[in-house]
A and B are shown apart, each in its own frame.
Chain A
Amino acid sequence: MKRLKISKRALKGTILKITFYLLLVLISFVFLEPILRIVVKTFMTPEDIIDPVVDWVPRSISLNNLKVAFKVLKLPVTLKNSILFSGALAIMQTFCAALTGFALSRYEFAGKRFWFVMILMCFIVPTSVLMIPRLMMFVTVQEAMKFTLIGTPIPQMLMALLGQGVNSTILILIFQNFFNLIPKSLDEAAMIDGAGAFRVFWHIGLKLSLSTVLVVFLFAFVWNWNETYVTGTLLRSGLELLPSKLSLFDSEFENAVSSSGSAFKLNEAYKMAATFISIVPLLLLYSFVQKKFIEGIENTGITGE
């Protein structure tokens, strides 16, 4: 009697497990379906694209789409620009986030709670409500100082350096939580040895948290890469970036075709190939450091300790 009960329970457990895995696999498919579609269509021939019979498996593989998309996206240039642009902004954002996170973690200053709430508010307020005055401000300064700002990366660099870049709030939270883990006695020891506040920050804060610095940098890099609204408003076409080229792909394609005088027609495959190319750098990055990304979000501590 007793044995039967146990085996029944075990059976129930196994069935539950199988259901769980089945569900997870199904969900994975829904997650990956858009990416798979991008990849499949990238390698399809024009005939396969139009043919309604061909849905997932192409009849023959062609690299032509990739070549065309490569050309239209002006790949070597835009890729380099995108990496440099996102990288520069990410470094600046990381630096400011580290400073702010250090202040929140290490010092008990008047109004700390207020500033912390303001940092959280920065995340909640939609960017679109801020962009109009920001744009007007930069235009006004530009007119007054006779110095071009719109169409250069300077406005965004200023914003990143002063902690108002993409999702800065999350970056600050990651830093704050990591700094909280470093014992304060280390600071005190350094201060007794005569280190100033900034030296403590540099040698104890940053040098002990190099992996956190990397995580924050990676997040900032990816988010700056994917950001198009602020970039579209302030940088416009001042720099040729990969994501903005992708969003203008249709018209860029027409331009490229009409200037070369050939009879190419825009189709899905070209668009998908372009999309594929623009996400490949990020996929590569993710394949190397995926663990870091997930740990980073876990370390925001917004789920409470």
Chain B
Amino acid sequence: MKKMKTWKQRQNRNGYLFMLPWIIGFAIFTAFPFAATIVLSFMNVNSTILGFELSFAGMSNYITAFFKNTEFLPALAGYLKMAIPYTFVIVVVAFIIAYILEHITKLKGFFRTLYFLPVIIMSGPVMAKLLETKTSDMQAFADDEYLDLFIVDMIASYSRPLAGLVSDTFTQLSTILWFTGIPIVLFINGLQKINPSLYEAAKIDSATNWQILWKITLPIIRPIALIVTVFTIASIGTYDINPVYTLIVKYMANTSGGLGFAATYAWVYTLTVLLLMGLSFLILKEKKTKVKHY
């Protein structure tokens, strides 16, 4: 008679049976390439008729990327200059929209549908075409149409680069808002899960809406804000508006020795992205409540 398997064994066997395709794919197409990119970033890659020729290059790719090449560092700086303000604006705006949508009754579904629309049509080529026409429209008027605004002027008197950043953010507002589609839904979902009796209790203690927002809603929503931030950082990098991304694509197309460089760029870029996510984790992680002693 066949020996019966224990419950645990069966769970293990069936679980791995269903996971198997994903695990194989993960090993071949994600884990291995990830490790390989790190190795490749220390290599010279030559593509010949017989295949790829690898030779150890030491740190030379990195030295070239950071000290000799004039494209990489500006592109990386450009990425940071884009990713940090964009992410900040996306998370804040998405929260505000979600908060408003939670507090109205009529047309709620309509607005939600509308704000989700960009998720469906957003793609590299469409964004590229839009940005192209935007810049050509801009040239017809002025270089920075928002630089004349009073508030931006005020910031400019304090720090010129900061004003440039603010005015850039305004010029790109549509593009930025297009990233809020999924964050809004996540925030609404989180807001709906807050226990209404918390609000009631606060109201009985005569808290104003403003106080409730800061003392109840925001602290509870903090973990979702973290998820949204990480999500935004992950999704923002994959479009042509990201200068590092276009640089990597360019070097990948250059098969004569470009692949090693591309690997170095991709790896440094990934580290930067992960660093940004780690930073947002540090900022948004749940703080331990300090017990005050009176």
Chain A contact residues, CB within 8 Å of chain B: 17, 20-21, 23-24, 27-28, 30-35, 37-38, 41, 52, 96, 99-100, 102-104, 106-110, 112, 115, 118-119, 122-137, 139-140, 143, 158-159, 161-164, 172, 197, 201, 222, 225-229, 232-233, 243-244, 246-247, 249, 268, 271-272, 274-275, 278-279, 282-283, 285-286, 290-291, 293-294, 297-298, 302-304
User: In the assembly, what is the distance between CA of A100 and CA of B32, in Å?
Assistant: 20
User: In the assembly, what is the distance between CA of A109 and CA of B19, in Å?
Assistant: 10
Stretch from B115-123, B150-158, B196-204, B286-294 forming part of the interface with A: B115-123
Residues of B within 8 A of A128 (CB): 245, 248-249, 266, 269-270
Contact of A126 among B19, B238, B263 (CB under 8 A): B238
* Total count of chain B residues near the partner, CB < 8 A: 92
Please give the distance in Å from A9's CB to the nearest CB on chain B. 11
User: In the assembly, what is the distance between CA of A249 and CA of B124, in Å?
Assistant: 13
Residues of B within 8 A of A133 (CB): 32-33, 36-37, 40, 263
27 A-B residue contacts at CB 8 Å?
A: A21-B107, A100-B22, A103-B15, A106-B14, A109-B14, A122-B30, A123-B234, A126-B269, A128-B248, A128-B269, A130-B30, A139-B51, A162-B22, A201-B18, A226-B126, A228-B124, A229-B238, A243-B123, A243-B124, A243-B125, A249-B129, A271-B132, A271-B133, A279-B126, A285-B120, A293-B116, A302-B227
User: In the assembly, what is the distance between CA of A5 and CA of B274, in Å?
Assistant: 53
B52 lies within 8 A of A139 (CB): yes
B50 within 8 A of A: yes
B15 lies within 8 A of A108 (CB): yes
User: In the assembly, what is the distance between CA of A271 and CA of B136, in Å?
Assistant: 13
CB-based closest 7 A-B pairs:
A162-B25, A109-B15, A107-B15, A226-B123, A103-B18, A133-B36, A133-B33
Q: Main SS of the interface on chain B?
A: helix
Report if A28-B111 is in contact (Cβ < 8 Å); known contacts: A246-B126, A297-B185: yes
Residues of A within 8 A of B28 (CB): 137, 162
User: In the assembly, what is the distance between CA of A112 and CA of B237, in Å?
Assistant: 29
Please give the distance in Å from B254's CB to the nearest CB on chain A. 12
Residues of B within 8 A of A272 (CB): 129, 133
B65 within 8 A of A: no
User: In the assembly, what is the distance between CA of A95 and CA of B184, in Å?
Assistant: 28
User: In the assembly, what is the distance between CA of A278 and CA of B173, in Å?
Assistant: 23
Residues of A within 8 A of B128 (CB): 247
Q: Main SS of the interface on chain A?
A: helix
A107 lies within 8 A of B33 (CB): no
A298 lies within 8 A of B277 (CB): no
Please give the distance in Å from A135's CB to the nearest CB on chain B. 7
B25 lies within 8 A of A163 (CB): yes
Bitwise interface map of B from 25 to 57 toward A, beta carbon under 8 Å scored 1, else 0: 110111111101100100001010011100000
Contact of A129 among B111, B115, B227, B270 (CB under 8 A): B270
A107 lies within 8 A of B18 (CB): yes
Residues of B within 8 A of A17 (CB): 104
B21 within 8 A of A: yes
Please give the distance in Å from A43's CB to the nearest CB on chain B. 15
Chain A residue at minimum C-beta to C-beta distance from B38: A129
B62 within 8 A of A: no
Residues of A within 8 A of B103 (CB): 20
Taking CB atoms and an 8 Å cut-off, the chain B residues in 50-70 that contact chain A are 50-52
Residues of B within 8 A of A135 (CB): 252
Please give the distance in Å from B172's CB to the nearest CB on chain A. 11
